[in-house]
Amino acid sequence: MASASYHRYFGLADVEPLCQRIAKRHPGGASLFDLAPLDQLHIGGLGASQRLIARLDPTTHPRLLDIGSGLGGLARVASLAGFAVVALDITASFSCLSARLNALMVAPSAAFTPPQAVTGSALALPFAANTFDAAVFQHSLLNVPDGQVALTECRRVLHPGGRLVLHEVVEGPHPETLRFPVPWSLDGQGSHLLTQETLEKLLTTSGFTLQRSSDLTPEALAWRRHQVQKEAQAAQGTGVVNKVEKLSPALVFGPCFADMGANLVANLQNGAIKVVEMELGC
């Protein structure tokens, strides 16, 4: 999940205690599965990231840019798959924790290169033209106030023949039913959902060619319902936010995370939002 400067996140003012807790719990290094409750801040979790990265080939498109990388969960999946990854997010505390999580992760070999965490804006990518072979947006564009500029910037830093894959939340057929808070917005401020049709038009005018588009809403709803049950079980007793031994999205989203999770289910069920996956070339 991407972040934005307006959005209030909890528990990230001092990342060191959290990192010490992770190191103590996983002295031999944390796996992708261990970190997933904290760093896979999007619908579908670790499985969605692995599926999205599988759409790309590190032998033909090795240099990958993750735009709106959050805490770097998707970027670490890509690095372990063999890509050279730059993980860009607008929130400095996210980039800081992302870099620290890289160091806490189990590396497959001494030659493994973790993602490079960079703080920057999708609206003015701090890279030269033709720098990357592929790019990824995962639940990122919903926080970007100008999707056209972001996609044009993305096309600029990709070389001809590059690839773009997206796993995004878009506006559904009944946007009037949208409930807040949700993970990308507490009250609607900074929420910039596009319709699927508008997103496809912006991609085309930015220089991309749509090759495949899939509606993952039914799968997303089933996954989120299952997560709500798991989170409710975990919250019994001391409460998930205060349960220091276990990682949870609540460490990022704070005490309203349970409401966010319930609202995601309602929004998917009522048609306020959809989840789509796209593959594009340029």
Mean pLDDT of 51-61: 98
pLDDT of residue 107: 85
Between CA 104 and CA 65 the distance in angstroms is 21
Say yes or no: domain 15-281 is CATH 3.40.50.150.
yes
- For 150-190, the pLDDT digits (tens) are 999 999 999 999 999 999 999 999 999 999 999 999 999 99
pLDDT of residue 78: 98
The answer on pLDDT for 251 being more than 80 is: yes
Q: Across all residues in the chain, what is the average pLDDT?
A: 91
Closest CA to 74 of 97, 55, 46: 46
Mean pLDDT of 61-89: 97
> HSE-up of 189 (CA within 13 Å, CB side)?
7
Between CA 242 and CA 230 the distance in angstroms is 16
pLDDT of residue 244: 43
Mean pLDDT of 111-117: 92
93: Cα separation from own chain's centroid: 15
pLDDT of residue 233: 76
Q: Please report, in angstroms and rounded to a whole number, the separation of the first and last CA atoms in the chain.
A: 25
Least confident of 1-15, 180-194, 223-237: 1-15
The answer on pLDDT for 67 being more than 60 is: yes
pLDDT of residue 16: 86
pLDDT of residue 12: 59
Q: Where are the domains of the chain?
A: 15-281
pLDDT of residue 235: 67
pLDDT of residue 255: 87
What are the beta bridge partners of residue 182? 185
Amino acid at 175: P
Going by the DSSP 8-state scheme, the letter that residue 221 receives in this structure is H
Asked whether 33 and 46 are in contact (CB, 8 A), the reply is: yes
Mean pLDDT of 115-143: 98
Question: pLDDT > 90: what percent of the chain?
Answer: 81
Mean pLDDT of 220-244: 73
Q: Which structure tokens are listed for 105?
A: 């992760």
Mean pLDDT of 225-229: 91
Mean pLDDT of 188-216: 97
pLDDT of residue 238: 46
Least confident of 13-22, 77-86, 183-192: 13-22
pLDDT of residue 40: 97
What are the beta bridge partners of residue 33? none
pLDDT of residue 274: 98
